[in-house]
Homo-oligomer: A and B are copies of this chain.
Amino acid sequence: MAKTPTPREQARQRTIAEILRIGREQLAKEGAAALSLRAVARELGVVSSAVYRYVASRDELLTLLVVEAYTELGDRVDAAVDAAPGTPFERFAALARAVREWALAEPARYGLLFGAPVPGYHAPAEQTTAPGTRVVARLAGILEQAWAVQGGGSADDDGAGPGGRLPAQLAADLETIRREYGLTIPVQLLARGITVWSGLFGAVNFEVFGQYGRGTFTDPAAYFELVIRQLAAQVGIPEGPG
């Protein structure tokens, strides 16, 4: 049926792609709140109301851009991890570096994903959660690999740090996550992994959003390498070949 899409449909897809491209530019140049359908229309050489033939609202355009950004970040992370040497540490480091580099290259789009919510806009969970979990899913995979490489270890000792028993409810929640993702690592390690996950984005946030204070680090990348080692150590991934 839809072998050769009708010319009109082709034109429509081209126009939508063009709107996304302009929207991406506006987003990168001015930031999320400055994204304006009227400006997109101007750039497109069309009257403002015409854009509504292709995009229902500003929020929908924002959602499309959010999904696109999540996808791009996920692709970058996947590519970086795939290209990295096989040791858990190198794979984790590749993931972390990919996140940081994309964030620094696309601060506005990164802010759209991990910054404060845009006023009045709420990302619809149905469309954004799936692409939004790609990074953490990949991180979980690396933890799985590291855990397997180390031969599983004892069930009580998950590698490092304060053991301690978990509150029952918390353990149950972690168990649910474990099942959903099909993981075999113990819940204590999973908990550490989640903290590493938020810690990674915390460090990237601080750098991208300028929380460290300007001029604090002459070579932020060097400091980030240190962060990588600290985070990796938290989940029992030593720097040497593991």
Distance in Å: Cβ of A232 to nearest Cβ of chain B:
8
Bound CA–CA A199/B195 (angstroms): 8
**Interface majority SS on A: helix, strand, loop or mixed?**
helix
Is A155 an interface position by the 8 A CB rule? no
Bound CA–CA A133/B214 (angstroms): 13
Query: Of all chain B residues, which has the CB nearest A208?
Result: B116
Tell which of B115, B212, B226 touches A115, judged by Cβ atoms closer than 8 Å. B115
Distance in Å: Cβ of A71 to nearest Cβ of chain B:
17
Give the copy number: 2
- Do residues B116 and A32 form an inter-chain contact, with CB atoms below 8 A? yes
Is A170 an interface position by the 8 A CB rule? yes
Is A148 an interface position by the 8 A CB rule? no
Stretch at the interface among A37-45, A47-55, A215-223: A215-223
User: Which range holds the interface residue count of chain A?
Assistant: 35 or more
Is A200 an interface position by the 8 A CB rule? yes
Is A229 an interface position by the 8 A CB rule? yes
Is A138 an interface position by the 8 A CB rule? no
Is A166 an interface position by the 8 A CB rule? yes
Q: A167-B222, A198-B203, A202-B205 are in contact. Are A233 and B161 (CB under 8 A)?
A: yes
Tell which of B31, B133, B201, B227 touches A195, judged by Cβ atoms closer than 8 Å. B227
Of A32, A172, A226, chain B has the most CB atoms within 10 Å of the CB of A226
- Do residues A198 and B199 form an inter-chain contact, with CB atoms below 8 A? yes
- Do residues B233 and A191 form an inter-chain contact, with CB atoms below 8 A? no
- Do residues B195 and A230 form an inter-chain contact, with CB atoms below 8 A? yes
Tell which of B32, B116, B216, B233 touches A111, judged by Cβ atoms closer than 8 Å. B116
Additional 14 contacts, C-beta under 8 A, given A31-B119, A111-B117, A115-B209: A30-B119, A30-B120, A33-B119, A112-B116, A114-B211, A116-B116, A161-B230, A162-B229, A162-B233, A173-B216, A173-B223, A191-B226, A199-B202, A230-B234
